[in-house]
Chain A
Amino acid sequence: MAVKPDLRVNLGGLILKNPVLAASGTFGYGQEYAEFVDPARLGAVVTKGISLQPRPGNPPPRIIETPAGMINAIGLENVGLEAFVRDKLPWLVERGAVVIVNILGESVEEYAALAEGLDRAEGAAMIEVNVSCPNVAGGGLAFGTDPDATARVVRAVVDSTSLPVMVKLTPLVTDIVAVAQAAVDAGAAALSLINTVPAMAVDLASRQPALGNVVGGLSGPAVKPIALRLVWQTAGALAAPVVGLGGIMTARDALEFLLVGAAAVQVGTANFVNPRACLDVLEGIEHYFRQNDLPDLSALVGRLEVQGFPSRDLNQSQRQEEKKR
């Protein structure tokens, strides 16, 4: 009989029992999925992004389905740090879940204050810094598209907490490696990518935007190829662990992300389609490892066989030239 594969992951010092994480904003605070997923079975739960103060969110409509995807403009509705620590976090901790708390701020100071607050609270295992939400002014995207601004936010967070820090990156950049490198140099223990792709949809009949916020973030199967390429490129250029996400619907999708170099994956929009998606992905990964006699994740992670391709850091030469100038 095949031995049970060892699916543990070291995510910048945080040991997870498996590489399947629920993505921020798609899994609520865990409780919403209690009937379908025992959060303790997952590698970790990344909670809905929290800000220092509660946020009401954007006016509806907030979501629109598009071919093989959906655009959301929720506007980071959340209960705020205080209520999160008091009302939401304990439920997950009591159930034995590993909790990664996604944070977002409108200023470097707000990010730092959030990190400090979570450092004092019991139960968070890691912080995921959202520098890439496309849906609110100052929702972090302004930071995430610029390596220097990303570094400033990350440094402020790292200096305010003893928790390991993961930085969630936007696909909306010319050079993902430059932003990722800046985050790591500023103290990030891990990276997660991609956040949603800025997008919009309109209603021809009413001549109005489909979303109350006009623009939003595209997710779902439609963005998977974009995410796969960015994860492949980033994981190849940096030693820090990269958590891949973007359109992962099935175990097969997740395995593809591991193959191109992701240390772990996050399941997002799939949770909306199938509330059991995280467990289905996890069980599918276990099944694949058993079937193929793979002992642990290192037997697959980053093992993509590419022949005759010199470098996957597509912007390397460009960056070097810029430095010269």
Chain B
Amino acid sequence: MAEIFLGPCPVLENRKLARKTYLMRLEAPAVARRGRPGQFVMVRTGPYPERGGGPLLKRPFSIHRLGPDDEISLLYRVVGVGTDLLALARPGESLELLGPLGRGFDPPDGLKRAYLAAGGVGLAPLLALAENLAGRTDLTLFYGEAAAVDLPPESYLKLFPAEIVLTTEDGTAGEKGLVTRPLAQALVRDPAPIFACGPKAMLAEVSRLARVSGVPAWVSLEARLACGLGACLGCAVQVDKGVYARVCAEGPVFRAEEVQWP
């Protein structure tokens, strides 16, 4: 059976794309073959977790890109000791990886038009999805960052087979403000299903916009988790009063209306 790969994967490239954002390409044939957009992998970031020589737990990352060929890419932001160590990895080293994991995006058939909404490093899972939908779905990517220094180079964003609308909170690039504003305007002009990933407050707003516009929305959630396999029950998200789902197993992609937003 072995649907989930566990083992070392050689780093092919680990490149800084913006202030704290990195792109890592790994040789991971099993994941590249079986992975679906929206699924994630767990990566060991430290040298000696069982002896306290590095972070104990693997870190979860959305699959940024499946392929070409045997490759996968991860887009990550340095936010703590795990990602700090990950940024130091050099080509030729191997990192232990577990995946693909979780439930990815499940776009309906015959989707003519869709909106992708990314907040910060929430951009990560949307490239794999965009490449999957390319050619059959007309895509617009709404992508918000705090400032221009957080944006990957324009040449990199060209990878997205989508029209791109940029926003920054400080107005140093693109439209000034939150990414949900141009999304809301687009939904008024031309309602279409939404696929989103980003901070919880942003996803809550996306969920609200989808509801008032009468369009379906899928959101990819982030959570602290230990195992990634549905066993530790650490990554709970409230889906009903007193009912929790596991981000790693029932998610990380949920229908927006399934989630109880704060």
A-B contact pairs, 17 of them (CB 8 A): A25-B232, A26-B231, A32-B229, A33-B229, A34-B1, A35-B4, A36-B6, A56-B244, A60-B223, A63-B225, A63-B234, A65-B56, A68-B52, A72-B234, A74-B233, A274-B6, A276-B6
Rounded to whole Å, the gap between the CB of B153 and the closest CB of chain A is 30
Nearest CB in chain B to that of A22: its residue: B231
Rounded to whole Å, the gap between the CB of B5 and the closest CB of chain A is 10
Provide the residues of chain B in CB contact with A236, threshold 8 Å.
none
Per the bound structure, the CA–CA distance linking A36 and B4 in Å amounts to 9
Provide the residues of chain A in CB contact with B229, threshold 8 Å.
28, 32-33, 275
Closest A-B pairs by Cβ, 6 of them: A68-B52, A249-B50, A28-B231, A63-B234, A272-B226, A32-B231
Binary B-proximity of A111-135 (CB < 8 A = 1, otherwise 0): 0000000000000000000000000
A313 at the interface (CB under 8 A from B): no
Max chain A Cβ within 10 angstroms of own Cβ: one of B3, B4, B52: B52
In chain A, positions 58-73 with a C-beta closer than 8 Å to chain B are: 58-65, 67-70, 72
Binary A-proximity of B73-99 (CB < 8 A = 1, otherwise 0): 000000000000000000000000010
A12 at the interface (CB under 8 A from B): no
- Judged by DSSP, the binding face of B is loop
- Contact A272:B57 (CB < 8 A) given known A57-B244, A60-B223, A61-B224: yes
Provide the residues of chain B in CB contact with A74, threshold 8 Å.
232-234
The answer to whether A62 touches B236 (Cβ under 8 A) is: yes
Provide the residues of chain A in CB contact with B50, threshold 8 Å.
221, 249-250, 253, 270, 273
The answer to whether A27 touches B223 (Cβ under 8 A) is: no
In chain A, positions 259-273 with a C-beta closer than 8 Å to chain B are: 269-273
Rounded to whole Å, the gap between the CB of B99 and the closest CB of chain A is 11
In chain B, positions 229-247 with a C-beta closer than 8 Å to chain A are: 229-238, 242-244
Rounded to whole Å, the gap between the CB of A244 and the closest CB of chain B is 17
- Contact A70:B226 (CB < 8 A) given known A36-B6, A59-B238, A276-B6: yes
In chain B, positions 1-59 with a C-beta closer than 8 Å to chain A are: 1-4, 6, 49-52, 55-58
- Contact A221:B52 (CB < 8 A) given known A26-B232, A36-B6, A59-B238: yes
Provide the residues of chain B in CB contact with A274, threshold 8 Å.
6
Residue tally, chain A, CB below 8 Å to B: 40
Per the bound structure, the CA–CA distance linking A67 and B58 in Å amounts to 14
The answer to whether A35 touches B1 (Cβ under 8 A) is: yes
- Contact A70:B57 (CB < 8 A) given known A56-B244, A57-B244, A63-B226: yes
In chain A, positions 211-231 with a C-beta closer than 8 Å to chain B are: 220-222
B165 at the interface (CB under 8 A from A): no
- Contact A269:B2 (CB < 8 A) given known A63-B226, A74-B232: no
Rounded to whole Å, the gap between the CB of B199 and the closest CB of chain A is 14
The answer to whether B224 touches A64 (Cβ under 8 A) is: yes
Binary B-proximity of A25-44 (CB < 8 A = 1, otherwise 0): 11110001111100000000
Provide the residues of chain B in CB contact with A286, threshold 8 Å.
none
B227 at the interface (CB under 8 A from A): yes
The answer to whether A275 touches B6 (Cβ under 8 A) is: yes
Please name 5 further chain A to chain B contacts, defined as beta carbons within 8 Å, in addition to the given A62-B236, A74-B233, A271-B231, sorted by A numbering.
A33-B229, A57-B236, A63-B224, A65-B224, A68-B51
Provide the residues of chain A in CB contact with B4, threshold 8 Å.
35-36
The answer to whether B244 touches A32 (Cβ under 8 A) is: no
Rounded to whole Å, the gap between the CB of A202 and the closest CB of chain B is 15
Per the bound structure, the CA–CA distance linking A275 and B223 in Å amounts to 19
A110 at the interface (CB under 8 A from B): no
Nearest CB in chain A to that of B53: its residue: A68
Nearest CB in chain B to that of A64: its residue: B224
Nearest CB in chain B to that of A247: its residue: B50
- Contact A273:B225 (CB < 8 A) given known A26-B231, A62-B236, A221-B50: no
Rounded to whole Å, the gap between the CB of A50 and the closest CB of chain B is 13
The answer to whether B6 touches A273 (Cβ under 8 A) is: no
Rounded to whole Å, the gap between the CB of B26 and the closest CB of chain A is 19
Provide the residues of chain A in CB contact with B226, threshold 8 Å.
63, 70, 72, 269, 272
Nearest CB in chain B to that of A68: its residue: B52
Provide the residues of chain A in CB contact with B3, threshold 8 Å.
35
